[in-house]
Amino acid sequence: MPLPACVTPQAALLDDLKIFDPIFTTKDKEKGTGMGLSIVYGIVAEYGGVLTVDSEVDQGTTFHVFWSCSRQQSFIPAQDSESLPGRTERILFVDDERLLLEMSAKMLERYGYTVTSVTDGQRAYDFFCADPLRFDLVITDQTMPGMTGLELAGKLLARKPELPIILCTGYSAAINEEKVKKAGLHGLIFKPLLKKDMTVLIRSALAAALPESPGSEPVGEPTSLGG
């Protein structure tokens, strides 16, 4: 059975297939980023649900969320070997989208990480410079006002070259793995940010930052996830 539907009295959406794509929006640039439905779709899909939309011109739009029924009294998510919990590492998370930032921070905190959330690139840089040893890893959005994620990463690496940095973006065409690798970052992940992809990439980045023992093989090559 679907959850209660959300119906909008406004005109119907013209392209049902595109509304769940990252960055797609019918709003003005000042009024929306086009990530809201993409984030919702990603969350529903990750938990095994289905999200559908019915839309008619001049009638409105109806969204349905379907979940699988379970007869079990409790549900404990299985932890696969890749979704390893954190070990109290400290993460600086930078994104100008407050909703996405809050959701991602809460997710990572449940895995044992200590997360500091900042919505501005310059503030994040100033915060980092005040105590460079405070953070073990940085996750930054690419498209932010004032300073892009790559610009922020360049400034951070100038202060702490061994710092592992993960770039996240919704623009698959503008940023690619080669560009991220050339800039000295560990990895690239595309929005919407899924829990498994994020935790795997974080563990890889932190492992790559550890000092290598003599004769050990290199680990943690720059990685692209979610694209």
Is the pTM higher than 0.75?
no
User: Are residue 11 and residue 47 in the same domain, yes or no?
Assistant: yes
Q: Is residue 157 in some structural domain?
A: yes
Q: What percentage of the chain reaches a pLDDT higher than 70?
A: 66
CB 205 within 8 A of CB 137: yes
- Beta strand 60-66 with 6-8 is antiparallel
Number of neighbouring beta carbons within 10 Å of residue 147 = 19
Per-residue pLDDT for 5 more than 50?
no
Q: Find out whether the peptide bond into 164 is cis, omega within 30 degrees of 0.
A: no
Residue 165 structural domain: 90-210+221-225
Q: What's residue 37's pLDDT?
A: 72
DSSP 28-56: -TTT--S-HHHHHHHHHHHTT-EEEEEEE
pLDDT in tens, 127-148: 999 999 999 999 999 999 999 9
**For the domain that residue 12 is a member of, what is the CATH number?**
3.30.565.10
Q: Which of 7-11, 167-171, 172-176, 186-190 has the lowest mean pLDDT?
A: 7-11
**Which of 145, 157, 141 is CA-nearest to residue 192?**
141
- Paired residues of 54 in beta bridges: 62
pLDDT band for position 40 (cuts 50, 70, 90): confident
| Spatial separation of the C-alpha atoms in residues 144 and 161, rounded to whole Å | 23
Asked if 16 and 102 sit in the same domain, the reply is no
47 or 120: which carries more pLDDT confidence?
A: 120
Mean pLDDT, residues 3-28: 50
